[in-house]
Structure 1
Amino acid sequence: MINWKYFRLIISTACLLIIIPSIPVDKNFNLNSKAQAQVKTNSVSPILQNNQKIEIQQQEKQVQSEFYNDQLDENLEQLQEKLEKLTPEDDRFEIIHTLKKIAIAYDAQGKYFKALEYYQKALKNAKKNQDSENIIAILNKIGVVYSQLGLYEQAIDYYKQVLKKNPPEKNNIFSNIGSIYRHLKKYSQALEYLRQALKNYQENQDNLGTAQTLNHIGVIYREQEKYSQALENHKQALAIQEEEGDQEGKAVTFHNIGKVYQDLNKYSESLKFLNHSLIIDRQLDNKGKEGIHLANLGKLLETKNQTELAIIFYKQSVNITESIRKNLKVLPAEEQEADVESVAETYRTLAELLLQKKRALEAHQIIDLLKVQEIFEQMGSLQIDNHKYSELPFLESEELFWKKYSQLIEAASDTKNQNQLEEKLLEIIEFFDSEEVKSIVSELKENAENQKLSSDIVFSLQLELKKHQKKNTVVLYPLVLEDRLELILVSSNYPPVHRTVSVKREEFNQAIFELRVRLINRNNSQSLPNENNNQSEKRIMLAGFKLYNWLIKPLEKELRLGKIKTIIYAPDGQLRYIPLAALYDGRKWLAERFEINNITAASLMDLEPRENFQPVILAGALTEGSYQFQVGRRRFEFEGLPFAGVEVENIEQIFPETNKLLGNEFTKEAMELNMDSHNIVHFATHSAFVNGHPEESFILFGDGDRATLGDVKYWNLKDVELVVLSACQTALGKDIGNGQEILGFGYRVQEAGAAATLATLWLVDDQATHEFMNYFYVALNKGVSKVESLREAQVNMINSEYNHPYYWAPFILIGNGF
């Protein structure tokens, strides 16, 4: 299985240098796919004397090798055992060494808060030992981890602490701080630190470091729209790289110059430099960067309203990204982390352009792949094989263009003489403006919408939907764009249906926020002091009706003619924070009309109906105690759930063979030991989706211990049909995100082997949860599917004293609920 975290780091490192270098990357990085990629990252290398540097590097290489060979957990356990045996009387350097290795291991797993915990312990020991070299190294490492977490102010604080120690090499720290300030758009501070780094590189006669920093300064000037200064710095960098024979550096600089000319609306010059950077990386076989160059050429063509050509370049960029994921085995880019939004944005932009051109079949495939992309960017790994995917196909006219363009690029790549290369670049530019290309574009404009094109994902999905014909099942994909909402509905017998709804993203997200606030705060005395329960419900109906008109009403004709009973739903962005069941059509809640089953991505799912499912339940409950702890910037305080015990007792009455663990017996270890012998695992306890740090999402146990998503990844759930989290909440903090922590939670449980997860989007009244679960398990005991049991429970709640949507709407099913 591919370790996607390392793929993500390598792809984002390339993005970093070429597009938005928010954190500095070493000038010597290499993305050669013929060998395992190795990234030399000055910005995270400890600033130490040679012997200490070698020791740190050996630690990291060992951890990377262990991670790559799936040995890291085993060796982490050994390191923990070793640490427990070490006493204060032992060699303090050995204690520091072990703590750092544990921290590096957690960092490699993406468990950044655990990494910080052990780096801080190592730092404390290093200070006691007055070990200045280790103090500098660890302070730098802590700064890097905070950068990875997006906690930039803390990162800057630790980098500045390193500078106060007067390390022998300051330029890397200056670059790190400058890069963070640039990411925060504090350009004057960024330039101040980068100029200090530049001065040090020049004084040390480090030409490549000088060129890299000049490039970085040039990018800042471009972002400030100071284009002449940007070009001046890039050309100075290029002169050094020419003299040094730094081909990879030249590729970066050519790209940066191309972006400046793009901003200046100098299309031919931009096209020339962007293609030149692509040619160099083709020569170097840098596949990851090649994909990024193609995306940026697509962006250039898009700005020139050459949408048909832009689609071709975006398609090929996605194909390269997907092929790397499936085939490339790499070593990590160490701690290097970057803003990888641009990778997912390529997918989203391609889907947007295809839908703009009414090419729904092609758009459906890319939207599904977008979901996959979002998962691995958030979760750091993706180990479920995307078995339904093959590369995005070209239409006949697109294939004709790509073949000719590839021939021109190949010919230029084979050229050694500079004058001949300039001629080849001119041929490429002339090709884009040729009659041949104009004819291809004309053909695509007129006929692309009607050309028949197969999609492996659609075909596979339709085959699975045919097995749900008794339920008349469809799959709904919304895509939220800046100025509109795109809807795609996939059924078993017809081509995907596409509808466009004109609504601004800001207005749409505000409607989502308002509905969520109404749902969660059923008696919000602060904002609505005189509102009773009926008034609250009416306000929710109005908010739900507004979203219904955008999301469902445009598809009502197809839903009614198809007599649809089940909607498989792949929400996009902030839609993940509200349940589709809580939308209101003017007469009924959608929960009353449809069974609703959320999914991560169809290409990762097995949606075939389960047969002869006989529940064998393991149920644990947090019944007492008080618990306080910190996750990132958020503090959590929990109390025991009095009705959780009753909830589990009721499950036992319905299914007498239930294995229950209450109070102190409900431990992480006890649950893990028993999971593989049950097919439903029920957690009547506090759990949370943590926005911004999805791997820190957690489940709380009776002894105060927690299982994070990083732990769930290693659970043995391969025989488990359903994991139930009956008291879950979404920890949003100050800002609402894009719901990827919810997407990630469902994926992690699926990755561990479970078919589906039943969770809540907000914490519900303890007694109401107990009532809901009773309805759910009674329905399940009748032999109906999980998703049908969910709907029955919701309808029963609607017809009970718990009829307010606050009580019944938060429960969502993610995965295969059939």
Structure 2
Amino acid sequence: MRQRRKARYYFILIMLLSSLTCLWWGNMPLLAQVPYAHQFVQQGIERYQAGDYNGAIAPWQRALILYQKAKNNQQEVAIVAENLARTYQQLGQSNQAIQYWEQAIAYYRPIDRQQTGRLLTEQAQSYSSMGQNRQAIALLCGAVQSNQECLPQTAVSIARSHKDLLGEAAAWGSLGEAYRIRGDYLQAIDYLQHSLKIATEIASFQLHISALNSLGNTYSNLAQVSDRASKSAERLGESEQANQLRQQVVSHTTKAVEFFQNSLKVAQQQNDRVNQTRAYINLIPLYYQQENFIAAAQANQQALVLWQQLPDNRNKIYTAIDLAKRQQSSTNSPLECLNVGVQPNAIALLKQATSIAQKTQDNRALSFVVGELGHIYECRKDYTQALKLTQQARWAAEQDKDSLYLWEWQTGRIYQAQNQKPAAISAYEKAITTIETIRDEILTANRDLQFDFRDTVEPIYRDLITLKLNDVPPSVLLSATDANTKNLTSVLTTADSLKLAELQNYFGDDCALTVVNPQGVDIGSIDRNTVIFSSLVLDERTAIIASFPNGDKKVTWLDKDSESLRKEINEFRLGLESFFDDYNPQPAQKVYDWLIRPFTAELEQAQIDTLVFIQDGILRSVPMAALHDGEKFLIQKYAVATTPGLSLTELKASNPQNLRALALGLTERVEIDGQEFAPLPYVQQEIGEVQEHLKGSTPLLNEEFNRTRLQQELSSNTYPIIHIATHGVFGTVPENTFLVTGNQEKLTITELDRLIRSTTKSTEPIELLTLTACQTAIGDDRAALGLAGVAVQAGAKSALASLWSIEDAATAQVAAQFYESLKESRMSKAQALQTAQLSLIEQGGIYTHPAYWAPFILIGNWL
């Protein structure tokens, strides 16, 4: 899958290709000491140069065994290991490539630092191709801040110390790619410009082209970011911001076009057909975005002509797939169908590519090209041919699970279209099982997936959920022994897996999810007074499932499409945040009628006192405590909590006698990256309340609240609670999810997680992370996803956080009452928060408005 995704092309160090022929042109008397080894090497070289990468592996592996058995042949071992590493990388088998890089680097490290640096760069590319960008960055430059020098013994430092400009250009370029894939686009541009400058100076055309392509891809990514943000702003009625963001889209797209055009020009000068073809393919969608349809058609035609002239190898096959999908202006989704008029051209192109894959015995490439053909026949509703081709793709992909799940999904869709429901369910379940085995790779591999996750992974889960839910009778309380209850349990297990996938995709390769309940949870054995509400937002309607402690379940449907639901939930949230307006409870009553009222009789009969919500989509962005039944708020009847998923929630009550906190706070006005954050004068009082109710707590205020002091305290003391009273922002991507420190720096949630996990003295997760004065954007369910996962990602059993910033005097009161109830009354965390919110409501006056108490939500373990 990685190999066919748009804008995912890595630096290939062609300057090191000479290593492939080193043994052939080497010292023949030396080779003669190892009979037949040089013949195997020669066979591998010939097959590799012919594009037969699979065929090159076996003779090289034979040669490697012979050299390893012989004495004094370590150099030959290293060179063959290099060749095998590059070959496995060409085949997309990065794990095997890395193992061979390790062998080669171990040989060169003590005797040839320049070669070591170059191989470190290639090894880093292998890590990047698997989405392990932290490892790639560590090899290339070290885990350092952007304003620091690269660490010694990294590829960049080695190249610079040896004045190896070729190696330095390659290392900077690979570093830029790693940051681009990570989603840090501005840092990527800086490093790629370094690479471009050096490559230009030394006239390394391959590296020059690679840097230009990577810069084009980076600006194309930035255009995608701005486009998504502009659409979000438009939905919220922020027309001025939407216009500014649309201007950014135009600017970034223009720069991307310029870089790809420059890449094309250099490739034409060098008569490099491969990179000319790639440049044209990259330009086609950008020309369409600019509404330059003539240029797009010309680029497409030029690419088709050049494609016919390429050598028959894997690159030609994947290029054909890209070209087939470029036969019209928009092919963003794997489900999108080509227009009928261009389908014959795409089919002809893919059939040629199929022949090449069969001739070169490249099963991985064959699975993608045949699978794409199957999709076109699926669109044509020729399901017999579609299924035949899709099954061929599945057989070819048996060893490559990152493509196998696509064809299992496609099989499920084809069966579903033919109303063969059991076969469709079986295929979807196989697809999800495959995804579960490669979760780390496909969900963190590339930040591009954060744009197309909803197109490439999420629909599989939701389609299976829909298929299974359709057979469950609605609005009926189903006993624990009912067959439909088992079906609902299966649906909830699938939904829980989806939540894990969403969080892992959101946090990327920094994700540190730990599944603590892999076999599920029997709530009744833990908490007899709690009901779990699970929402599932589907395209045309939303399911609400209540799971009772005795095992009974009930599902109801909200017949409202997802976009209408989004608009009404945003209206509800806007009303909650309107501090200075008289509160209108009608939106809250409407949502109550949707989510809670259908279950009131069962809740009363079971004597429930706590409701825990596992929310989906836009419903994550609003607090359930503020729902209103016409007489009371929900919090006045029930304690309320939320969790991203039961499999991630450690359900164990804390010992109130051991509670103490590391309390960090910011009272002063600060400015970070041009964004102003107002002073929080009541934070000092809030920190004082923490110290009063949790004896033995340690305060760090203002300048003392920084990474160094935080690390020192966590290293030397055990704190069950970390209380942070400062501005926090939850954004669409984790880089925009951060806390403001006292020394005017951003502390991201992933950085906080690394600090906690690497320095804390206790082996147990911290009990509670409290974040006050945080804020998530209205209508941004992806930002709300970051908040939903904050406890998990920060290595805490629970988190208490706010959905929007409020008057910090009210925050101080809520915090004080919460900790007092938790410590003195031995309440559950959910009940302690309920008590704190009720105490504010009961004060009357402005505090009856939910704007002051509703934003506080408890996430994770509610006990």
Match of 2:687 in 1: 648
Counterpart of 1:816, as a letter, is N
Measured after TM superposition, the shift of residue 311 of structure 1 is 0.8
Measured after TM superposition, the shift of residue 286 of structure 1 is 1.8
- For 1:95 and 1:277, the matched residues in 2 are separated by 41
Deviation string, structure 1 residues 71-92 (Cα, Å, up to 9, x no partner): 6799324997644999xx9969
Q: Are the counterparts in 1 of residues 693 and 819 from structure 2 also a CA contact under 8 Å?
A: yes
Q: How does 1:271-670 map to 2 (within 5 A)?
A: 271-282=387-398, 285-325=399-439, 339-341=452-454, 342-358=456-472, 359-381=487-509, 382-386=511-515, 388-389=517-518, 456-457=519-520, 461-462=521-522, 464-469=523-528, 472-523=529-580, 533=581, 536-537=582-583, 539=584, 541-629=585-673, 636-670=675-709
Which of the numbers 769, 787, 791 marks the counterpart of 2:830?
787
1:269 matches 2:385 = yes
Measured after TM superposition, the shift of residue 576 of structure 1 is 0.8
The alpha-carbon distance between structure 1 residues 215 and 514, as it changes in their structure 2 partners (threshold 3 A), is same
Match of 1:144 in 2: 217
- For 1:376 and 1:174, the matched residues in 2 are separated by 34
- For 1:319 and 1:490, the matched residues in 2 are separated by 25
CA root-mean-square deviation: 4.0
Q: How does 1:736-755 map to 2 (within 5 A)?
A: 736-737=779-780, 739-755=781-797
The alpha-carbon distance between structure 1 residues 623 and 330, as it changes in their structure 2 partners (threshold 3 A), is closer
Q: Tell which deviates more after alignment, 112-121 or 479-488.
A: 112-121
Q: Are the counterparts in 2 of residues 622 and 685 from structure 1 also a CA contact under 8 Å?
A: yes
- For 1:488 and 1:194, the matched residues in 2 are separated by 50
SS across alignment from 1:715: helix
The alpha-carbon distance between structure 1 residues 557 and 35, as it changes in their structure 2 partners (threshold 3 A), is farther
- For 1:608 and 1:664, the matched residues in 2 are separated by 36
Q: How does 1:21-60 map to 2 (within 5 A)?
A: 21-23=5-7, 30=91, 57=122, 59-60=124-125
- For 1:236 and 1:140, the matched residues in 2 are separated by 27
Larger Rg: 2
Q: Tell which deviates more after alignment, 741-750 or 675-684.
A: 741-750
Counterpart of 2:690, as a letter, is I
Counterpart of 1:364, as a letter, is L
1:730 matches 2:776 = yes
Measured after TM superposition, the shift of residue 106 of structure 1 is 4.7
Measured after TM superposition, the shift of residue 292 of structure 1 is 1.6
The alpha-carbon distance between structure 1 residues 102 and 33, as it changes in their structure 2 partners (threshold 3 A), is closer
The alpha-carbon distance between structure 1 residues 183 and 231, as it changes in their structure 2 partners (threshold 3 A), is farther
Q: Are the counterparts in 1 of residues 215 and 259 from structure 2 also a CA contact under 8 Å?
A: no
What TM-score does the superposition give when structure 1 sets the normalisation length? 0.75
- For 2:340 and 2:92, the matched residues in 1 are separated by 30
Match of 2:280 in 1: 174
- For 2:772 and 2:346, the matched residues in 1 are separated by 55
Deviation string, structure 1 residues 702-730 (Cα, Å, up to 9, x no partner): 11111113312312254521111110011
Deviation string, structure 1 residues 146-166 (Cα, Å, up to 9, x no partner): 555634853662353253263
Counterpart of 1:380, as a letter, is G
Measured after TM superposition, the shift of residue 518 of structure 1 is 1.0
SS across alignment from 1:320: helix
Match of 1:423 in 2: none
Deviation string, structure 1 residues 544-593 (Cα, Å, up to 9, x no partner): 11111111112222211111111121110001110111111111111111
The alpha-carbon distance between structure 1 residues 229 and 188, as it changes in their structure 2 partners (threshold 3 A), is farther
Match of 2:806 in 1: 764
The alpha-carbon distance between structure 1 residues 568 and 813, as it changes in their structure 2 partners (threshold 3 A), is same
Match of 1:225 in 2: 340
Deviation string, structure 1 residues 307-336 (Cα, Å, up to 9, x no partner): 22211110111112112338x899968999
SS across alignment from 1:647: helix
- For 2:127 and 2:344, the matched residues in 1 are separated by 46
Q: How does 1:58-97 map to 2 (within 5 A)?
A: 59-61=124-126, 67=134, 75-77=142-144, 82-83=149-150
Unaligned stretches of 5+ residues in structure 2: 11-50, 52-88, 101-114, 228-248, 268-274, 328-336, 473-486, 758-763
- For 2:442 and 2:541, the matched residues in 1 are separated by 39
Measured after TM superposition, the shift of residue 701 of structure 1 is 0.7
> How many matched pairs?
692
What TM-score does the superposition give when structure 2 sets the normalisation length? 0.72
SS across alignment from 1:768: helix
Q: Tell which deviates more after alignment, 139-148 or 546-555.
A: 139-148
Q: How does 1:139-218 map to 2 (within 5 A)?
A: 139-147=212-220, 150-151=224-225, 153=249, 154=252, 157-158=255-256, 160-164=258-262, 166-168=265-267, 169-178=275-284, 192-205=298-311, 208-218=314-324
Identity over aligned pairs, percent? 24
- For 1:159 and 1:214, the matched residues in 2 are separated by 21
The alpha-carbon distance between structure 1 residues 596 and 182, as it changes in their structure 2 partners (threshold 3 A), is farther
- For 1:246 and 1:219, the matched residues in 2 are separated by 21
Deviation string, structure 1 residues 183-202 (Cα, Å, up to 9, x no partner): 99998765543443333333
Q: Are the counterparts in 2 of residues 163 and 170 from structure 1 also a CA contact under 8 Å?
A: no
Measured after TM superposition, the shift of residue 281 of structure 1 is 1.9
Match of 2:767 in 1: 721
Deviation string, structure 1 residues 653-711 (Cα, Å, up to 9, x no partner): 333533112222222221232235212111111111012x1243000011111111331
Q: How does 1:671-750 map to 2 (within 5 A)?
A: 671-675=710-714, 677-691=718-732, 693-716=733-756, 718-731=764-777, 736-737=779-780, 739-750=781-792
Match of 1:449 in 2: none
SS across alignment from 1:670: helix
Q: Are the counterparts in 1 of residues 405 and 432 from structure 2 also a CA contact under 8 Å?
A: yes
- For 1:95 and 1:694, the matched residues in 2 are separated by 30
SS across alignment from 1:386: coil
Deviation string, structure 1 residues 617-652 (Cα, Å, up to 9, x no partner): 11122111330316xxxxx32122122222212323
- For 2:615 and 2:410, the matched residues in 1 are separated by 28
Measured after TM superposition, the shift of residue 807 of structure 1 is 0.7
Measured after TM superposition, the shift of residue 176 of structure 1 is 2.9
- For 1:115 and 1:799, the matched residues in 2 are separated by 50
Q: Are the counterparts in 2 of residues 484 and 501 from structure 1 also a CA contact under 8 Å?
A: yes
SS across alignment from 2:673: strand
- For 1:269 and 1:687, the matched residues in 2 are separated by 54
Measured after TM superposition, the shift of residue 123 of structure 1 is 6.1
Q: Tell which deviates more after alignment, 144-153 or 794-803.
A: 144-153
SS across alignment from 1:350: helix
Unaligned stretches of 5+ residues in structure 1: 1-11, 40-49, 390-455, 524-532, 631-635
The alpha-carbon distance between structure 1 residues 78 and 711, as it changes in their structure 2 partners (threshold 3 A), is closer
The alpha-carbon distance between structure 1 residues 229 and 124, as it changes in their structure 2 partners (threshold 3 A), is closer
Measured after TM superposition, the shift of residue 806 of structure 1 is 0.6
- For 2:420 and 2:837, the matched residues in 1 are separated by 49
Measured after TM superposition, the shift of residue 815 of structure 1 is 1.2
